Amino acid sequence: MSHIDEAPQSTGAAAPPQGREKKLPARDRLTVILMVTIPLLLVLLLVWLPALLSVVLSFGKWNGFGDLDTIEWVGFQNYTDIATIYPPFWPAIQHNLIWLGFLFVFPTLLGILLAVILDREMRGSRIYQTAFYMPVVLSLALIGFIWQLFYSRDQGLINQVFGTQVDWYGDPDINLWAVLVATAWRHTGYIMLIYLAGLKGVDASLREAAAVDGASEVRTFFNVIFPVMRPINMIVIVIVVIESLRAFDLVWVVNKGRNGLELIGALVAQNVIGEATRYGFGSALAVIMMLISSVFITVYLRNVFREERRG
């Protein structure tokens, strides 16, 4: 990237003069202005304004009845309540972190492995691809329902087949893992497809060169292919982080995010979307979630920019 940028500058004299004189024609300028302002306004209106309002609401107590002047401002009470007397909160934080760790360690690595294997174009790889990708097409609500048939304590397939009486969805020590397995079923296919697309884009001459140099397949992957795949690796990391933060659907289908399946997203929904209308309290939870995700976003962006400067 930077090579191309630098190239014309090195020719110095030939470059057009910088500054005031370099004006775009009126029409182009208008286009640029529109192209910048319209998305900017949309982002402000649809992302930042609601986010800001959530922050404002999180300092109030409001059940949604009546006008905005019925909001009772309570300062940081919602936050202190969440941290001190709201039992589901700390488990939720913990579960979101477990979710993140689990997604990285198992389904993501498995997805990458599957992609690498499928990339070797063995016979029937299309069929495998379709099979692995199928769960991604299904909605998580449906996946929750499908797994319910496996996990039900009294009537589920697993307990029937093995003659066990494990309370897969009801025992808070087990249900998170049961749900994570169901999530992994879908997540693996998702990562596999993204990674496979990335692998297809790797220049074949790199592999040939490595082969000529006598590198083993494994070595070629780790020393040549994996570094070249950096953009895809970044995307995968971002996807995993996002998926684990917005994890919600499956636990909601299982038991509305209670009893061992608390996740921050589900707590926000319990307080705001359902009939319980604790808008202030729910907003405070949402703000906490936003803060946590912004930590990841900051780390990610810093990493990207640093790489770009270096690159």
Partner 1 sequence: MSRSSSSAIPRSALVTMEASRRSVLRGMALSGLAVGGASMLAACGGGDSGPATGSGATVKFGINEAEGSGAAYDRLKAIADAYTKESDTEVALNAVDHNTFQESINTYLQGTPDDVFTWFAGFRMSQFADNGLITDLSDQWPIDGLGDSFKQAATASDGKQYFVPISYYPWAVFYRKSVWEKNGWTPPETNDDFTALMDDMQGKGVTPFAFGDKDGWPAMGTFDILNMRLNGFDFHMSLMAGDEAWDGDEVKLVFDTWRKLLPYHQADPLGRTWQEAATSMGKGECGMYLLGTFVVDALGENGEDLDFFTFPQLDSSIAADSLDAPIDGFCVAAAGKNQEAGKAMAKWLGSAAAADAGNNGADAPFIAANEGASTSTYSDLQKKSAEVVGAAANIAQFMDRDTNADFANTVMIPSIQEFLKNPDDIDGVTASIQEQAASIFG
* Cα distance between residue 181 and residue 229, in whole Å: 27
Tell me: does residue 275 bind partner 1 (CB under 8 A). yes
Helix H or strand E segment including 4 = helix 2-10
What lies within 8 Å, CB to CB, of 229 at 6+ separation is 195, 198, 199, 202
Touching partner 1, residues 48-107 (CB under 8 A): 61, 63-66, 77, 81, 85-88
The binding track of 121-140 with respect to partner 1, each residue x by CB under 8 A or -, is: ------------------x-
Give the residue, chosen from 99, 102, 132, 168, that forms a contact with partner 1 under the rule CB under 8 A: 168
Question: CA 118 → CA 114, 195, 203, 223, distances in Å?
Answer: 6, 10, 17, 20
Q: In the bound complex, what is the minimum distance in angstroms from residue 270's beta carbon to partner 1?
A: 6
Assess 258 for contact with partner 1 (CB under 8 A). Answer: yes
Name which of 253 and 263 has its Cβ closer to partner 1: 253
Of 248, 259, 290, 297, the residue at the interface with partner 1 (CB under 8 A) is 259
Asked if 149 touches partner 1 (CB under 8 A), the answer is no
Burial (CB count <10 Å: 0-12, 13-18, 19+), residue 300 = middle
d(CA 183, CA 185): 5
- CA torsion 41-46-49-54 (nearest 10°) is -170
In this complex, which beta carbon is closest to partner 1, that of residue 86 or of residue 128? 86
Name the minimum Å distance from CB 276 to partner 1.
4
Q: Measuring CA to CA, which residue among 261, 247, 284 is closest to residue 73?
A: 284
Q: Which is nearer to partner 1, 45 or 105 (CB)?
A: 45
Residue 61 phi, psi (nearest 5): -125, 120
* Among candidate residues 300, 267, 263, 261, the one with its CA nearest the CA of residue 283: 267
Nearer to partner 1, 86 or 133 (CB): 86
Give the Cα separation of 307 and 311 in Å (integer). Answer: 6
Q: Is 8 in the site for partner 1 (CB under 8 A)?
A: no
Where does the chain show beta strands of DSSP type E? Answer: 60-61, 72-73
Q: Whose Cβ is closer to partner 1: residue 99's or residue 281's?
A: 281
Q: Examine residue 270 and tell whether it contacts partner 1 (CB under 8 A).
A: yes
User: For partner 1, which residue of 95, 186, 187, 278 counts as binding (CB under 8 A)?
Assistant: 278
Residue ranges that bind partner 1, judged by CB under 8 A:
61, 63-66, 77, 81, 85-88, 139, 141, 145, 152-155, 165, 167-172, 175, 253, 255-256, 258-259, 270-271, 273-278, 281
